[in-house]
Amino acid sequence: MSSEIQGLVLHPSPGNKVFRDRVKELSGEKVELCFQCGACSSGCPMTQEMDYLPSKVIRMVQLGLEEALESKTIWVCTSCFNCEVRCPRGIDIANVMEALRQLVLRKKYDRVVLNELTDEQIKELPQVAIISSLRKLTA
Amino acid sequence: MKIAYYPGCTLKTTAKEFDISTKASTKALGIDLVELPRWNCCGTVHALAKDDVMHHLAPLRNLLRVEEMKQEGLVDEKRVVALCAMCYNTLKRSNQAFNADPDKAGKVRESMDNEANVYSGQVEVEHLLETLRTQGWDKVQARVTKPLKGLKVAPYYGCLLLRPRGIGIDNADNPTIMEDLLHALGADVIDFSYKQKCCGSYHTVYMKEVVADLSNRILTQAQAAGADIVATACPLCEYNLGNRQTEVVKKYPHFNSIPIVYFTQLMALAFGLSEDETALGMNKPDPRPILKEKGPI
Predicted confidence (pLDDT) per residue in A54-75, tens digit = 999 999 999 999 999 999 999 9
Q: Given a cut of 80, is residue A11 above it in pLDDT?
A: no
Answer whether B211 touches A (CB < 8 Å).
no
Reported as a single tens digit per residue, the pLDDT across B67-98 is 999 999 999 999 999 999 999 999 999 999 99
pLDDT score, position A1 = 45
Length of chain A as a residue count: 139
Do B145 and B76 have their domain in common? no
Residue among B48, B51, B235 minimizing CB distance to A128:
B235
pLDDT score, position B171 = 96
pLDDT score, position A4 = 58
Q: In a mutagenesis test of the B interface, which of A103, A117, A128, A131 is the best target, namely the one with the most B β-carbons within 10 Å? A: A128
> Structure pTM?
0.95
With an 8 Å Cβ cutoff, are B164 and A84 in contact? yes
Give just the sign of the alpha carbon dihedral A101, A105, A109, A114: positive
Q: Quick one: which of A17, A127, A129 has its CA closest to B205? A: A129
Alpha carbon separation from B200 to A44, A49, A136, B165 (Å, rounded):
11, 11, 13, 20
Domain membership of residue A122 as a residue range: 112-139
Contact B106, B113 (CB under 8 A): no
Whether a cis peptide bond, with omega within 30° of 0, leads into B259 is: no
Contact B284, B243 (CB under 8 A): yes
Residues of chain A that touch chain B, judged by Cβ-Cβ distance less than 8 Å:
25-28, 45-46, 48-49, 76, 78-82, 84-85, 92, 94-95, 98-99, 102, 112, 117, 121, 124-133, 135-137
Reported as a single tens digit per residue, the pLDDT across B171-212 is 999 999 999 999 999 999 999 999 999 999 999 999 999 999
Do B32 and B119 have their domain in common? yes
How many domains does chain B contain in total? Answer: 2
Contact A28, A63 (CB under 8 A): no
Contact B271, B25 (CB under 8 A): yes
Q: 3-class DSSP state for residue A86? A: helix
Residue among A26, A28, A125 minimizing CB distance to B205:
A125
Do B172 and B51 have their domain in common? no
Low pLDDT (below 70) residues in chain B: none
Chain B residues with CB under 8 Å of A98 CB are 48-49
The single-letter code of the amino acid at A14 is: P
First-to-final CA distance of chain B: 30
Do A103 and A119 have their domain in common? no
How many domains does chain A contain in total? Answer: 2
Do A55 and A32 have their domain in common? yes
What helix, strand, coil percent values describe chain B, rounded to 5?
50, 10, 40
Look up residue B80 and give its DSSP letter: E
pLDDT score, position A12 = 77
The predicted complex's ipTM stands at 0.95
pLDDT score, position A10 = 74
pLDDT score, position B296 = 79
Do A22 and A65 have their domain in common? yes
Element (H, E) at A62: helix A54-62
Tell how strand B152-155 and strand B79-82 pair up: unpaired
d(CA B280, CA B286): 7
